[in-house]
Every structure is written in structure tokens, then in C-alpha cells.
């Protein structure tokens, strides 16, 4: 009888312990769930952090706290580890704002939802203008800024290649804190890919020996007009001149060859001053591109519009007047450039 009573009390005691343990477990789970979905306390309206490749989850947790997330780094790390996604945290630049929870913070890093910056390269820009834009770009680590052109091209994997025209004009997004070489490499690869694609679709009997020559011609077309309707015909004029060995006689190449000596006013003596880029004093294409051509100019260089014209002159409204003969061209010049004189 005594043994039976003792056994019953033991069972009741064990049951009580089980209930206490279960209750504690429920409280713990509830506390964790509450913390995971509760907004973190931040030192400011927003907190920024750049996570370097190879950073451990523990280092990431500590870095967030150091950056301004007011919580326990141990607690944050344990959440990363317990979630099973700690090793999926991606390197990058992140910005969080008031209202972010431990759960949404981890989701942001796992999804790679970075804060990105942008730099825009404009069609017709020179390489010098490209470098100036990179120097002004926010949160971009300036590595190439102190390099010479030859050093820079070697650093992006194109040793010995002239930089002018070799970068595709576009808008490039980048993570905060990355090197300017990252943007340079992407723009260089983009131009190489675009150029190879249009060259593979070039017209038959084109008087161009290589894709590089197409790039040079495209850069001239880019600088000669912004009018989409004229681009193909201007390409046709230049192709006609190349076919018959006539000088291209295009002002943008002369201006490029003058470099910093150009003061905004092109004079007759400038057209007579010989440089490798003076297409009045030298036949054929200049030795390098003179700017960054866009996709439309690239396409026009390899698939020019048929035209019998050998001349064109700007009308003053963005478009051009085309002529077959020098006599017609002189009349057009008098009309549009000399006020009819």
C-alpha cells in the first residue's frame, strides 16, 4: 500500500516537472519568436555595413553591433547559426532602417538585397571624361585613379590596348566600397561583347579590315551626330569615302588630336596642323577611336545605310544635309553654315 502511494506521488512529481519544462520551453520559444519579429534598436535613422567576402557569421554579427545595431552580438550570431542560413550570408553593402527585425535583417543578407550605387557613362564621352565620372562616383574605392592608362589597361586584363573607345557607355550599378577597377572591367567586357556581336553581323564588302576599325568608325559616327535618322547615312558617307580613298575630313577627329589645346573654336589652321587623328591631312581611319560609341553607332558602322552622298553638313537643328557632289555641298555649306552668303 505504501509502495503504491509512493509510486503515485513520484508519477505526479515527474508530471509536474514535465509541465514546468514544457512551460519553460513554451516561454523560451515565445520569447525567441517575439525577439525575432521585434524591431531592432538602431543608433540612428539608418545603419550601413559593408560585409567583406570571407567574413564569418560571428564577425558579421559583431560588425552590425559596432555599426549601430543595439543588441547583443552573441544573440545575433546565435540567431544566424540557429536559422541554418548563416553560411548563406552574402558579402556586399547593406543599409537597414528603423523597423528592421532580426528576421528581416538575416533575410536581407541571405537574398543579397544590397544598397547599390550607380555611375552613368554617356555615349560620345572620351576616356578622360569616363575617368572623371569614376572619380566623382560615391562610395567607389579609387584604385585606378593613380594609374597611368597603360597600367590601368593591364590591371583590367587588356595590356597594350589603347583605352579610348574600349568601354561601353551605360549605367553601371555597384556595391558600396568596391574598386573602380570593377566598373572598368565590366564596361570593358560589355564593349568587347557588343563589338564582337555587331562585327559578326557586318555587311558584305565593308571597307573595314577588323572589328577594331569598326570601333574607330563607330566613335566618329557617334561624335558627328546625335540624330538617329542621320546616323546610318553618315556611316554610308564615310564608307563611300573609305572605298574610294577619299579623306574622311571629319572635324571631331581633328579636335581629338588637338587634345587640351582645343579651346572650343576650330580654325582653318587647326585643320592644316597634322596629327595622327587629322583626317584632313591623312587618309583612312585614325589610329584609335576618339570616344565611346553607343550601340546604335556600333551597328551603323558595320551596316551603313546606302547613300550616293560623299558630303554632309550640319543644318544647325541637329540634322544634316547630304550631297553627292562638291558643288552641291558648297551650296549647302553656304546655306546652313554661312547664312546663305
Residue 41 lies in a domain: yes
Asked if residue 332 and residue 289 are part of one domain, the reply reads yes
Q: Judge whether 158 and 166 are in contact, CB under 8 Å.
A: yes
Helix boundaries (H) for 169-244: 180-199, 211-224, 228-244
* CA distance linking residue 87 with residue 54, whole number of Å: 10
Residue (of 144, 147, 149, 123) closest to 134 by Cα position: 144
The CA-atom distances, in angstroms, between 233 and each of 137, 230, 308 are: 36, 5, 9
Distance of CA 210 to the CA centre of its chain: 26
Residue (of 266, 268, 285, 269) closest to 277 by Cα position: 285
Number of domains in the chain: 3
Asked if residue 166 and residue 244 are part of one domain, the reply reads no
Per-residue confidence (pLDDT) for residue 25, from 0 to 100:
44
Residue 25 lies in a domain: no
Asked if residue 134 and residue 55 are part of one domain, the reply reads no
Asked if residue 313 and residue 237 are part of one domain, the reply reads yes
The yes-or-no verdict on residue 17 having pLDDT over 60 is no
Of 111, 130, 162, the last residue of a domain is 111
The yes-or-no verdict on residue 38 having pLDDT over 50 is yes
Asked if residue 186 and residue 95 are part of one domain, the reply reads no
Rounded to two decimals, the pTM is: 0.75
Residue 9 lies in a domain: no
Dig out the grid coordinates for 294 from the structure: 553607343
Asked if residue 172 and residue 265 are part of one domain, the reply reads no
The yes-or-no verdict on residue 7 having pLDDT over 60 is no
Pairing of strands 171-175, 116-120: antiparallel
The CA-atom distances, in angstroms, between 15 and each of 7, 22, 280 are: 12, 10, 101
Which domain does 257 fall in, by range? Answer: 209-336
Residue 26 lies in a domain: no
- Please state the rounded mean pLDDT for residues 38-66: 92
* CA distance linking residue 337 with residue 340, whole number of Å: 8
Residue (of 338, 313, 301, 296) closest to 250 by Cα position: 313
For the chain, how big is the Rg over CA atoms in Å? 33
Per-residue confidence (pLDDT) for residue 304, from 0 to 100:
97
- Please state the rounded mean pLDDT for residues 180-205: 96
Asked if residue 328 and residue 297 are part of one domain, the reply reads yes
Asked if residue 131 and residue 57 are part of one domain, the reply reads no
- Please state the rounded mean pLDDT for residues 242-270: 94
- Please state the rounded mean pLDDT for residues 209-223: 97
Residue (of 315, 312, 310, 321) closest to 339 by Cα position: 315
**Percentage of residues in the chain having pLDDT higher than 70:** 90
Of 111, 128, 161, the last residue of a domain is 111
Per-residue confidence (pLDDT) for residue 161, from 0 to 100:
96
Q: Judge whether 220 and 253 are in contact, CB under 8 Å.
A: yes
Per-residue confidence (pLDDT) for residue 340, from 0 to 100:
55
Asked if residue 98 and residue 188 are part of one domain, the reply reads no
Confidence of residue 50 (pLDDT cuts 50, 70, 90): confident
Lowest mean pLDDT: which of 25-34, 128-137, 195-204? 25-34
CB count in 10 Å sphere of residue 58 = 16
Of 59, 81, 111, the last residue of a domain is 111
- Which of residues 318 and 148 earns the better pLDDT score? 148
Amino acid at each position: 500500500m505504501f509502495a503504491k502511494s509512493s509510486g503515485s506521488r513520484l508519477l505526479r512529481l515527474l508530471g509536474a516537472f514535465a509541465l514546468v519544462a514544457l512551460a519553460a520551453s513554451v516561454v523560451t520559444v515565445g520569447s525567441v519568436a517575439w525577439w525575432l519579429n521585434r524591431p531592432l534598436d538602431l543608433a540612428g535613422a539608418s545603419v550601413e555595413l559593408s560585409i567583406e567576402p570571407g567574413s564569418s557569421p560571428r564577425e558579421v554579427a559583431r560588425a552590425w553591433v559596432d555599426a549601430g545595431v543595439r543588441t547583443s552580438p552573441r544573440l545575433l550570431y546565435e540567431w544566424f547559426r540557429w536559422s541554418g542560413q548563416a553560411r548563406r550570408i552574402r558579402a556586399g553593402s547593406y543599409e537597414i532602417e528603423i523597423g528592421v527585425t532580426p528576421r528581416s535583417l538575416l533575410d536581407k543578407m541571405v537574398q543579397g538585397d544590397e544598397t547599390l550605387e550607380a555611375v552613368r557613362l554617356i555615349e560620345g564621352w572620351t576616356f578622360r571624361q569616363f575617368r572623371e565620372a569614376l572619380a566623382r562616383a560615391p562610395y567607389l574605392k579609387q584604385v585606378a585613379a593613380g594609374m597611368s592608362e597603360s597600367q590601368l589597361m593591364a590591371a583590367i586584363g587588356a595590356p597594350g590596348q589603347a583605352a579610348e573607345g574600349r568601354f561601353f557607355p551605360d549605367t553601371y550599378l555597384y556595391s558600396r566600397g568596391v574598386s573602380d577597377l570593377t566598373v572598368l572591367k565590366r564596361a570593358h567586357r560589355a564593349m568587347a561583347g557588343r563589338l564582337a556581336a555587331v562585327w559578326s553581323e557586318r555587311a558584305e564588302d565593308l571597307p573595314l579590315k577588323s572589328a577594331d576599325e569598326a570601333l574607330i568608325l563607330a566613335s566618329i559616327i557617334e561624335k558627328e551626330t546625335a540624330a538617329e535618322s542621320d546616323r546610318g547615312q553618315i556611316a554610308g558617307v564615310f564608307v563611300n569615302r573609305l572605298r574610294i580613298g577619299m579623306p574622311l575630313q571629319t572635324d571631331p577627329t581633328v579636335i581629338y588630336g588637338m587634345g587640351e589645346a582645343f579651346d572650343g573654336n576650330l580654325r582653318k589652321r587647326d585643320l592644316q596642323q597634322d596629327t595622327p587623328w587629322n583626317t584632313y591631312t591623312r587618309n583612312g581611319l585614325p589610329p584609335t577611336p576618339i570616344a565611346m560609341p553607343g550601340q546604335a553607332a556600333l551597328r551603323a558602322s558595320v551596316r551603313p545605310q546606302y547613300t550616293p552622298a560623299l558630303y554632309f553638313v550640319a543644318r544647325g537643328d541637329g540634322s544634316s544635309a547630304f550631297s553627292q557632289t562638291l558643288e552641291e555641298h558648297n551650296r549647302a555649306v553656304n546655306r546652313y553654315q554661312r547664312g546663305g552668303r
